[in-house]
Structure 1
């Protein structure tokens, strides 16, 4: 059973000097930005400028830890500084969490969207390196859909330490641990849900308040792997089911969504979707794609024209589903039947063959694909026959890429 420790406040790395490349547009200066949030903040913080449209960009980290931000509206690039060379990276659409064997480095891209369900607000502030969280082993990171409230979970497999960060503090440039619990070394997750968090490790999941205190009874979860947050709740992948963590009336609850009876398809171990959407996708290795509808609390197994190695659900009105083949092609599939709608050429075959990380990210209109070995990033119009809308050749080859600002 995890045991709580005292909250810890970690020193930031300091203010970030942004070096704009030749021809780059400079970010808004602090003098141009409001100093106080409005009464109805909608995710706004002091020092951030509200925008008329999302400041969408691709924020990336290369193999040496150098961080860059490509503004997709202006097509300009800014260098944001350096972190330790990462072995993995996770993003919530604003922050980048770059993990290595000794901890996690945190980067604030400075652009984000506040989802107010029926409308959105868009913000920009100065990007910065926030600091580091120490830990043993390459951390598994889990985030919510809010970059200004709630928490961010880190699980360090080497030590079994489960850490919850204060996301509101991150938005103010501070790295604050609200709890650090000792759990079981090995596979594990810390998954935020509202002001609570779930720790999955050692064959069970436990619910915790933000101070680390345990709430209610533990639930079984063998071999935890894979998590994503939808508009409905937070998903945790277990060997024989998914757990859905929801919060209503300030009370958390855990629901079990078992795989269909009699299925022999491999379980889901990684989930991906267009941020916030209720339906998520996961590879059923060698068989097809698992689709999990968190509204309906149901699974569907879709056959695919060929084996795929990565998937993400767009979950739009046309039920588009994107998949990546082993030879580096992006497939546009029907998310209800698995039928092929369109395909690209083999864009990232060298990266996949070399075991390098490939990012496939979907938003409402476009998808973004990166190939470290190819030194390229592509913008794809999946609704237009998987057309390549733009191709980028960054000066520094990105190893990990996140879409930020949306």
Structure 2
């Protein structure tokens, strides 16, 4: 594996990011060797998160997985060390997604799985951060249209035909896809692991999809009596799982083994082009964003069960850290704009950062905004770079990472 030294880095990286202290309180023994992670958790309980060979750290261990679909160039940018790791080529990628640890490269011939080697385990009252070696973890046969969702125990892969398979997370941690189980039924959206169960919307195409809940062995359990017309988009929050529907959002929540459904409707009927159809948010946040047509962004506050429509310029990408942070919008002028979510007023703006044609594309490639607890990351495919933004300091560019490839696709792991 080759290493490329990150260049043109401006000052401003948090000093705490260089600390890789091993934590011992309440933890199992650790191993300093960072090769060949091996799972030590089971699917029946929330895993502690440690695997053999991993290092536990004091801070979140963020890495960016980057891909150029044209050339197949693939890199993993370690935001702690500033080094860029070259990985095997993956050409023809139509979409790059993540569950916080694994990068999923969707191609017409199947889905490649890359273990980015960083992850977070949140136990509610405390959090564990881990880092390990980067390595391939096999392939799923489902191709470009597959939807992959995972938690600490299982990974659900839903194909374009609506059929879903369930993979053990422990197999991926050992570097292989393993032998999956097939989930019964046909699913209108992604199968989403949540609260040691699997949530989905089932339907035969002739009726409105209905909420269904399965255990991890594929057995049906009691489900709330709720439907979701024209489902599009989903997100896991601390308040439950959100599915986007024609009339707004459907929130599925678990409490002591019982599942309930609650609608969060729009204030009026909307044409399909103005509905929220894909959600982006900071992992662990209950504030979701989605384009609302070409010149506005929806912000869904799941805690308050409220939608806010923020008027902007032409939207290329959007995201927010939530909890009082600004709404971040990359607009067609190439600048990153910050908006106050409550008032809709602009509060900050960068200079032009990106060049080229920034109209939102239809091929799934182009700039995105990844957000964590202190920084946002913006990929510049034409400029062959990634910007690190301090969104709490008037959108200051904290660091600039120059690359030897065009990062048309980007996801952040370690969350």
TM band (smaller chain): 0.7 to 0.9
**Would you say 1:333 and 2:339 are equivalent positions?**
yes
Residues 12-27 of structure 1: pairs in structure 2 closer than 5 A = 18-21=1-4
Aligned residue number for residue 3 of structure 1: none
User: Which residue is 2:349 aligned to?
Assistant: 343
Matching of residues 369-388 of structure 1 within 5 Å: 369-388=378-397
Deviation at 1:108, TM superposition (A): 0.6
How far, CA to CA, are the matches of 1:267 and 1:321 in structure 2?
A: 18
Tell whether the 8 Å contact from 2:137 to 2:173 is kept in structure 1 after alignment: no
| Aligned partners of 1:60 and 1:68 also within 8 Å | yes
Measure how far apart 1:156 and its partner are.
Answer: 1.8
Equivalent pair of 2:313/2:332 in contact (CA under 8 Å): no
Cα deviation, residue 36, structure 1: 9.4
Give the aligned partner of residue 89 of structure 2.
82
2:267 to 223, 235, 260: 260
Do residues 114 (structure 1) and 121 (structure 2) align?
A: yes
Q: Which runs of 5+ in 1 are unaligned?
A: 1-17
Structure 2 counterparts to residues 30-179 of structure 1, below 5 A: 32=33, 42-63=48-69, 64-135=71-142, 137-143=144-150, 146=151, 148-149=152-153, 151-157=154-160, 159-176=161-178, 177-179=180-182
CA RMSD, Structure 1 to Structure 2 (Å): 3.1
Cα distance in 1 for residues equivalent to 2:261 and 2:170: 24
2:137 touches 2:174 (CA, 8 Å); kept in 1? Answer: no
TM-score relative to the length of structure 1: 0.83
Q: Could you tell me how far apart the structure 2 residues matched to 1:378 and 1:334 are?
A: 22
1:362 matched to which residue of 2? 371
Aligned 8 A contact 2:376 2:388 in 1? yes
Alignment correspondent of 1:398: 407
After superposition, give the CA deviation of every residue in 1:5-43 in whole Å (9 maximum; x if it has no partner).
Answer: xxxxxxxxxxxxx3334699xx9x9763698979x9731
**CA deviation after TM superposition for structure 1 residue 138, in Å:** 1.9
Shift of 1:323: 1.2
> TM-score with structure 2 length normalisation?
0.81
- How many residue pairs are counted as aligned between the two chains? 378
Aligned pairs for 1:192-341 within 5 A: 192-200=193-201, 202=205, 203-205=208-210, 206-216=212-222, 219-261=226-268, 266-286=274-294, 288-296=296-304, 298-316=305-323, 318-341=324-347
1:195, 1:348 → 2: CA distance?
Answer: 42
Distance 1:398 1:287 in 2: 25
Q: Give the C-alpha shift of residue 181 in structure 1.
A: 4.1
